[in-house]
Homo-oligomer: A and B are copies of this chain.
Amino acid sequence: MKKILNAPERALDEALRGLVAAHPDIVAAGESGRFIVRKQPKASGKVALISGGGAGHEPLHAGFVGVGMLDAACPGEVFTSPTPDQMFAAAAAVDRGAGVLFIVKNYAGDVMNFEMAADMAGGDTATVITDDDVALLDSPVAAGQGSRGVAGTVVVEKIVGAAAERGAGLAECAALANEINAATGSMAVALSSCTVPAAGKPTFALGDDEMELGVGIHGEAGRERVKVQSADQLAEVFLASILRKIDTTANTDGPLLLFCNGLGGTPLMELYILYNSAAQLLKRHGYTIARSLVGNYCTSLEMAGASLTVTRLNEDHLQLWDDPVNTAALRWGC
């Protein structure tokens, strides 16, 4: 294993220390546990948003803490759920009297621990589970565990973060989060595995001519292992599954947000090529792309690969997407 670090067991804490040191105007370390809070607390009487999950998906979630997005993020060790006490402490730290919304990717450990945190915190919380991965929608895996929460979580956090900043109440924020999640589909491809620092060796193996279609962000098996596909072919497979979800679950005449996300080890040039393939295909089929995002936002350490996420938006969503945001990883209007 070759990585830039000092010791695997100190990697997460050192990365968090680096994040806070690099963006002292945006984030701060939680005083009572391992979590990151925004530097300037939200105004009193507004709903607080908290997310979290295993590290290794950076900038998700700590990179999205700041004005217009999350109030706190609770990172666990790499690919490991944070603990309920982290979430409870974070909720206590950022609750501004209007309740706390937990945004949780659909993984058993995360869901269970956030549930316990909600119990500990008492009544004034709501929880939304994101499950935007469409790769396994027809498989027994999804039938048992539901779909996985992946890059679409970023879209939920941005849009609901803006609504909370505007003063939307807890029930309204939760409903909006569920609405965006339902209007969002994602699918990924891996060209390589990643290596969890504490494990020291790759999570899985892929042949030199193979791709894993529908891979999960922890390296979970996808839908199919295939020979190398072109960007056009990947876009076609991904969009077919994504559109099958969002064309049935959401308002079907709104424009789209098209988000091409890198898994960590893929150059930006390839992300723009995949974005281009997807955008051209969508336009050929009569869809309108109103907003775009291209970059590494929900990663799997150094995994080579990428995902496409599409969200169906309405006019309100567009405005919330455009609202100012000031986080380490997403910033505009501030």
Binding site for B on A (CB under 8 A): 2-7, 11-12, 14-19, 21-23, 55-56, 58-59, 63, 78, 189, 191-192, 208-209, 211, 228, 230-232, 234, 258, 260, 264-277, 279, 289, 292-294, 296, 299, 301-302, 304-306, 326, 328, 331-334
Which residues of B are found within 8 Å of A272, using beta-carbon distances?
Answer: 14-16, 18-19, 22, 58
Specify which of B59, B191, B269, B296 is in contact with A301 (CB 8 Å cutoff).
Answer: B269
- Assess whether A56 is in contact with B269, with CB atoms less than 8 Å apart: yes
Q: Determine the residue in chain B with the shortest Cβ distance to A4.
A: B270
19 A-B pairs with CB atoms under 8 Å apart are A2-B208, A2-B304, A4-B191, A4-B266, A4-B271, A6-B231, A11-B269, A14-B276, A14-B277, A17-B276, A18-B275, A21-B276, A22-B260, A56-B267, A58-B267, A59-B268, A265-B266, A296-B296, A332-B332
Shortest beta-carbon distance, A7 to chain B, in Å? 8
User: A266 CA to B191 CA in the complex, in Å?
Assistant: 15
User: A18 CA to B275 CA in the complex, in Å?
Assistant: 6
Which residues of B are found within 8 Å of A264, using beta-carbon distances?
Answer: 265, 267-268
Q: Determine the residue in chain B with the shortest Cβ distance to A328.
A: B294
- Assess whether A63 is in contact with B5, with CB atoms less than 8 Å apart: no
- Assess whether B6 is in contact with A269, with CB atoms less than 8 Å apart: no
Which residues of B are found within 8 Å of A230, using beta-carbon distances?
Answer: 5-7
Which residues of B are found within 8 Å of A279, using beta-carbon distances?
Answer: 18, 21-22
Q: What number of copies of this chain does the assembly contain?
A: 2
- Assess whether A266 is in contact with B302, with CB atoms less than 8 Å apart: yes
Specify which of B7, B14, B23, B269 is in contact with A15 (CB 8 Å cutoff).
Answer: B269
- Assess whether B231 is in contact with A5, with CB atoms less than 8 Å apart: yes
User: A275 CA to B3 CA in the complex, in Å?
Assistant: 14
Specify which of B11, B211, B326 is in contact with A2 (CB 8 Å cutoff).
Answer: B211
User: A2 CA to B265 CA in the complex, in Å?
Assistant: 12
Which residues of B are found within 8 Å of A228, using beta-carbon distances?
Answer: 2
Which residues of B are found within 8 Å of A14, using beta-carbon distances?
Answer: 231, 272-273, 276-277
Shortest beta-carbon distance, A76 to chain B, in Å? 13
Q: Determine the residue in chain B with the shortest Cβ distance to A275.
A: B18
- Assess whether A273 is in contact with B5, with CB atoms less than 8 Å apart: yes
- Assess whether B2 is in contact with A268, with CB atoms less than 8 Å apart: no
Specify which of B6, B268, B274, B334 is in contact with A296 (CB 8 Å cutoff).
Answer: B268
- Assess whether A21 is in contact with B275, with CB atoms less than 8 Å apart: yes
User: A268 CA to B296 CA in the complex, in Å?
Assistant: 9
User: A304 CA to B328 CA in the complex, in Å?
Assistant: 22
Which residues of B are found within 8 Å of A18, using beta-carbon distances?
Answer: 260, 271-276, 279, 294
Which residues of B are found within 8 Å of A306, using beta-carbon distances?
Answer: 4
**Contacts A267-B58, A267-B264, A301-B267 given: A4-B231 contact, CB under 8 Å?**
yes
User: A112 CA to B78 CA in the complex, in Å?
Assistant: 47
- Assess whether A63 is in contact with B6, with CB atoms less than 8 Å apart: no
